[in-house]
C-alpha cells in the first residue's frame, strides 16, 4: 500500500510502498477513502511541538474509509461500515477523565498520525472502539475535515458558551473557522467573524456572519466592544496578536477558548482585568467520540457546509508548502479512492 511517511523532521515526506498491516484483536483495518490535511500534521512532520512524534511515522487524523477487516474483539463496528479515524486514536477508558466525558484529556491516550500511524495511507489500523461511524448520506470528502476541523470547533464553540442571546467572536475563518462560524450560528449566537484576507471575509459573509471585522484595517477589540463585547471568543488564527485581540474583545464574564497552536504560542494576560472582569480562558483540544457523532449528524441533516479542495497524496509536500504559504482558503483533502 501507498503511505506518506515522515522519516526526518527536517526532510520532506516520502511516499513509500508498505505492507498492508493486519489488525490486532481490538483493531480494525480501514481502507482509506479520504484523508484531510490538518495544520497539526505539518507540526508533527516538522517536530514543532514540545512533545514530538517518533519517526518514521505516518501522519493524518482526518481519515475516513471502509472497515475491511476486524479483529475478533471488535464489537461496535462491522466490516463494510464507513468510519472516521480521528485524533483520539484510543484512551484508557477507565480513568476519571474517560468516564466523565473528558476522554480527550486521558493521560494514557494515543493520537492518530502522531503517537500511532495515521491516515496518510491507503490503509490504516485503528482501535475498533474509537473509530466513529460516518452516517449514510455524509460524503466521505466532507467527513474527513469534520473529523478534526469540525469536531474541534464544535467543542470549542460549546466551551465558549454559544447559545441564543450571546455574541461569539470567531477569530480566523479558515479550515477550522468556517465551521466554527456555522456551529456558533447553529447554537443561536450572534456572530462576529475576524480575518485578514478578502476571500475569507467574503466566505464569512456568505456563511451568514452577523458582523465581519478585517483585522488588517480595523481594531478588532474596539469594533467588538462597540457591539457590547463578546460573551465567547474562539481563537483559531495562528498568531499571538490575534489571541490578545480576542481576549480584549470579551465582555465581563466572557470566555476565551484557545484552539490554534502556533509553534511559539504565548498569551500574556493582565491579572487585574482578568480578575475584575471574571474572564475565563480555556484550552480546547479536539472533541469526544460523542461530539464527533453530533457533528456528523448535523452534517447529515444538511446544517453545515464543508469548504474543501481535493488533492493527491503524492502531492503532500507541495500541499504542506501551500498551507504554510497561506495559499489555500479551504481544507485540503487527499482523495485515495
Ligand atoms: Zn487536526
Ligand atoms: Zn483515560
Residues 118 and 234 in one domain: no
| Same domain, yes or no: 228 and 323 | no
Same domain, 86 and 156: no
pLDDT tens per residue across all 337 residues of the chain: 999 999 999 999 999 999 999 999 999 999 999 999 999 999 999 999 889 999 999 999 999 999 999 999 999 999 999 999 999 999 999 999 999 999 999 999 999 999 999 999 999 999 999 999 999 999 999 999 999 999 999 999 999 999 999 999 999 998 999 999 999 999 999 999 999 999 999 999 999 999 999 999 999 999 999 999 999 999 998 888 899 999 999 999 999 999 988 777 888 899 999 999 999 999 999 999 999 999 999 999 999 999 999 999 999 999 999 999 988 878 999 999 9
On whether both 188 and 129 belong to a single domain, the answer is no
**Residue 169: in which H helix or E strand, if any?**
strand 167-171
Q: Are residues 221 and 274 in the same domain?
A: yes
Task: Work out the number of other CB atoms within 10 angstroms of the CB of residue 10.
Answer: 8
pLDDT for 267: 87
Same domain, 255 and 156: yes
Is the residue at 261 inside a domain? yes
The number of distinct structural domains making up the chain is: 2
Please name which of 207, 254, 208 lies closest in space to residue 235, comparing C-alpha atoms.
254
pLDDT score recorded for residue 239: 85
Question: Ligand 1 mean position to 228 CA, how many Å?
Answer: 32
Which residues are found with C-beta within 5 Å of the ion, ligand 2? Answer: 91-92, 95, 98, 106
Measured CA to CA, the distance from residue 333 to residue 121 in angstroms comes to: 13
Residue 141 placed within a domain: no
At residue 263, the pLDDT reads: 72
Distance 213 CA to ligand 1 centre (A): 26
- Burial class for 275, CB neighbours closer than 10 Å (0-12, 13-18, 19+): exposed
CATH number at residue 177: 3.40.50.720
88 C-alpha vs ligand 2 centroid, how far in Å? Answer: 11
Indicate which CATH number applies to the domain containing 74.
3.90.180.10
**27 shares a domain with 118:** yes
* Cβ atoms within 10 Å, residue 68: 15
> What's the CA gap between 268 and 47, in Å, rounded?
25
13 domain-assigned: yes
Residue 91 lies in a domain: yes
294 within domain boundaries: no
Task: Provide the domain limits for residue 105.
Answer: 2-133+307-335
Residue 139 lies in a domain: no
The answer on 97 and 52 residing in a single domain is yes
Q: Is the pTM of this model over 0.75?
A: yes
Q: Is residue 257 part of a domain?
A: yes
In a domain, 79, yes or no: yes
| Closest to 289 in 3D by CA, of 137, 17, 89 | 89
Residue 188: its pLDDT value, please?
A: 98
Cα of 179 vs centre of ligand 2, distance in Å, is 28
In this structure, are 156 and 277 located in the same domain?
A: yes
Helices (H), the chain: 39-46, 96-99, 140-145, 151-159, 177-186, 198-206, 220-227, 240-248, 271-276, 289-300, 316-324
Do residues 98 and 160 both lie within one domain? no
Q: Considering every ligand atom, which ligand is closest to the CA of 96? A: 2
Q: Does one domain contain both 156 and 272?
A: yes
Residue with the three cell numbers 493524518? 60
Cα→Cα distances 12→4, 36, 63, Å = 10, 18, 21
Max Cα-Cα span within the chain: 60
Amino acid at each position: 500500500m501507498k503511505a506518506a511517511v515522515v522519516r526526518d523532521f527536517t526532510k520532506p515526506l516520502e511516499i513509500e510502498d508498505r505492507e498492508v498491516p493486519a489488525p490486532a484483536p481490538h483493531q480494525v483495518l480501514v481502507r482509506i477513502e479520504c484523508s484531510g490535511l490538518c495544520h497539526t500534521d505539518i507540526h508533527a512532520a516538522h517536530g514543532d511541538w514540545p512533545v514530538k512524534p517518533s519517526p518514521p511515522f505516518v501522519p493524518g487524523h482526518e481519515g475516513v474509509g471502509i472497515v475491511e477487516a476486524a479483529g475478533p474483539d471488535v464489537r461496535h463496528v462491522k466490516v463494510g461500515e464507513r468510519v472516521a479515524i480521528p485524533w483520539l486514536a484510543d484512551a484508557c477508558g477507565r480513568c476519571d477523565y474517560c468516564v466523565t466525558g473528558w476522554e480527550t484529556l486521558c493521560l494514557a491516550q494515543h493520537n492518530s498520525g502522531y503517537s500511532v500511524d495515521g491516515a496518510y495511507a491507503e490503509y490504516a489500523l485503528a482501535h475498533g472502539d474509537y473509530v466513529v461511524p460516518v452516517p449514510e448520506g455524509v460524503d466521505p470528502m466532507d467527513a474527513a475535515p469534520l473529523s478534526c476541523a469540525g469536531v474541534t470547533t464544535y467543542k470549542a464553540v460549546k466551551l465558549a458558551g454559544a447559545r441564543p442571546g450571546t455574541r461569539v467572536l470567531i477569530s480566523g475563518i479558515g479550515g477550522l473557522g468556517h465551521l466554527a462560524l456555522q456551529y456558533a450560528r447553529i447554537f443561536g449566537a450572534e456572530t462576529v467573524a475576524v480575518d485578514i484576507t478578502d476571500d475569507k471575509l467574503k466566505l464569512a459573509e456568505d456563511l451568514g456572519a452577523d458582523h465581519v471585522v478585517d483585522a488588517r484595517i480595523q481594531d478588532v477589540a474596539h469594533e467588538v466592544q462597540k457591539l457590547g463585547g463578546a460573551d465567547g471568543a474562539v481563537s483559531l488564527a495562528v498568531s499571538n496578536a490575534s489571541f490578545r485581540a480576542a481576549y480584549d474583545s470579551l465582555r465581563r464574564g466572557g470566555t476565551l477558548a484557545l484552539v490554534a497552536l502556533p509553534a511559539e504560542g504565548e498569551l500574556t494576560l493582565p491579572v487585574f482585568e482578568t480578575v475584575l472582569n471574571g474572564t475565563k480562558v480555556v484550552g480546547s483540544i479536539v472533541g469526544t467520540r460523542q461530539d464527533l457523532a453530533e457533528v456528523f449528524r448535523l452534517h447529515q441533516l444538511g446544517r453545515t457546509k464543508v469548504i474543501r479542495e481535493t488533492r493527491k497524496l503524492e502531492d503532500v509536500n507541495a500541499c504542506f508548502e501551500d498551507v504554510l504559504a497561506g495559499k489555500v482558503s479551504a481544507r485540503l483533502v487527499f482523495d485515495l479512492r
